[in-house]
Amino acid sequence: MIFDLKRYAIHDGPGIRVNVFFKGCSLRCLWCHNPEGVSKDPELMVMPNRCAHCGDCVRACSYQALSQAENGGIVADRSKCTLCGDCVKACQREAIQIVGREVSVEEMVKEIEKDRIFFEQSGGGVTLTGGEPLFQPEFAEALIDSLHMKGIQVALDTSGYASAETFLRLTKKSDLVLFDLKMMDGDEHKKYTGASNEIILKNLKALDDLGIPVWVRVPLIPGVNDDGKNLEKLADFLLELQSVKMINILPYHRGGVEKFRRLGRDKDFKVYEPPSQEKVDSVINFFKQKGFKVKQGG
């Protein structure tokens, strides 16, 4: 189950890449910028900015899951929705979509191979991201194996929140691991993501013994994990690991806010103030002074 396939990606690993977005994630980060990847199931997404207020979708729905508001917009009762897709077909402006579709490994490899020339010329490949690829470990593993048989490199973008057996089995097969590391305090981590970071830290330590290059990705969330105490603990932890080749600082942005609303999950997120460039630069300089190779984004 995936929710997107992004070609010509240049921010999730080296070179030009194809990003495969897996659906399903065990964490519930309040700042998530891909909320359509959290649930493992397909979902109805309504985009008011595209709506023509024509009511075609309402008339097409046999389950009374859609109604028209006083302003002409669409109100969705997702408890009645069966995801039959009739409303999607009726909407000429693509204001209603079903996010999430089942795909086969063969289908994915066929699509990805169309970009082989870009991989070869740029040193790129495929990044499995999400959501969380380890949420669908059998599919992720089969896709990695099939891509490697075609000579295509694979990066695994993960939060590290998975059983040690699953985590190590898939990371061993990856050419690069993009590891999201949010905060060091377990209670704070649970407060903002819904889960402790104990498994995450253990898995990152275990990954260090495999000799696979790791890029640690730190989402910078003002008021959550940008304080000096957390950054110091994070740096101390990473200094003990030989496999960490780079730290990517990912400044919080509000790209996920509208997505949450489109999915009808307004209560599942919190709006933060994006960090200033001055703050981002100071965090980058902090890690550089610790001896890390650091860049914004990545």
**pLDDT of the residue at 298:** 75
Determine the average pLDDT of the residues in 25-48: 95
pLDDT in tens, 196-242: 999 999 999 999 989 899 999 999 999 999 999 999 999 999 999 99
**pLDDT of the residue at 134:** 98
Catalogue the long-range contacts made by 1-5 (C-beta closer than 8 Å, 24 or more residues apart): 1/40, 1/41, 1/42, 1/100, 1/101, 1/102, 1/103, 1/136, 2/100, 2/101, 2/103, 2/108, 3/34, 3/36, 3/37, 3/99, 3/100, 3/101, 3/131, 5/108, 5/111
**pLDDT of the residue at 121:** 93
Which of 182, 296, 285, 255 lies closest to 34 in space, CA to CA?
255
Q: How confident is the model at residue 194 (pLDDT cuts 50, 70, 90)?
A: very high
Is it the case that residue 273 has pLDDT exceeding 80?
yes
Average pLDDT over all residues of the chain: 95
CA–centroid distance for 167 within its chain: 17
pLDDT in tens, 78-89: 999 999 999 999
Is it the case that residue 267 has pLDDT exceeding 90?
no
Question: Hey, what are 37's tokens?
Answer: 């990847």
Domains detected in the chain? 2-40+101-296 (3.20.20.70), 43-99 (3.30.70.20)
Question: Hey, what are 249's tokens?
Answer: 């600082």
Is it the case that residue 72 has pLDDT exceeding 90?
no
Q: How confident is the model at residue 113 (pLDDT cuts 50, 70, 90)?
A: very high
Which of 221, 220, 213 lies closest to 246 in space, CA to CA?
213
